[in-house]
Amino acid sequence: MNSIAARFRIDGKVAIVTGASKGIGASIAHGFAEHGAKVVICSRKQAAVDELATQFTAKGYEAIGVQCNVGNEADRKNLVDTCIEKYGRIDILVNNAGTNPYFGPIQNLPEAAYQKTMEVNLNAAMHLSNLCYEELKKSGKASIIHISSVEGIHASPGFIAYNLSKAGILMLGKSQATEWGKDNIRVNVICPGLVKTKLSQALWQNEGLMEKMEKKIPLQRMAEPDEMAGLALMLASDAGSYCTGAVFANDGGLLNASLF
Ligand SMILES: NC(=O)c1ccc[n+]([C@@H]2O[C@H](COP(=O)([O-])OP(=O)(O)OC[C@H]3O[C@@H](n4cnc5c(N)ncnc54)[C@H](OP(=O)(O)O)[C@@H]3O)[C@@H](O)[C@H]2O)c1
Give the model confidence (pLDDT) of 182-210 as tens digits: 999 999 999 999 999 999 999 999 999 99
* Regions of the chain short of the pLDDT cut 50: none
Specify the pTM.
Answer: 0.98
Q: Sheet of 38-43: strands edge to edge?
A: 62-67, 38-43, 14-17, 92-95, 142-147, 185-192, 247-250
Least Cα distance to 180 among 133, 232, 240 occurs for: 133
225 CA distance to ligand 1 middle (Å): 11
* Predicted pLDDT at 206: 94
Chain Cα centroid distance, residue 119:
15
Give catalytic status of residue 162 as yes or no: yes
* Predicted pLDDT at 260: 83
53 CA distance to ligand 1 middle (Å): 17
60 CA distance to ligand 1 middle (Å): 26
- Among 24, 95, 103, 194, the mutation site with the greatest number of ligand 1 atoms within 8 A of its Cβ is 24
Please tell me which residue in 61, 87, 133, 162 is annotated as part of the active site.
162
* Predicted pLDDT at 258: 85
Domain map (residue ranges) of the chain = 5-195+225-250
Q: Which atom of ligand 1 is nearest to 45's Cα? A: 40
For the domain 5-195+225-250, what is the CATH code?
A: 3.40.50.720
The 8-class DSSP code of residue 159 comes to B
Q: Which atom of ligand 1 is nearest to 43's Cα? A: 34
Output the residue whose Cα is nearest ligand 1's atom 31. 69
- Three-class SS of residue 15? strand
193 CA distance to ligand 1 middle (Å): 14
Chain Cα centroid distance, residue 10:
17
Q: Which atom of ligand 1 is nearest to 223's Cα? A: 3
* Predicted pLDDT at 110: 98
- Total residue length of the chain: 260
- Three-class SS of residue 147? strand
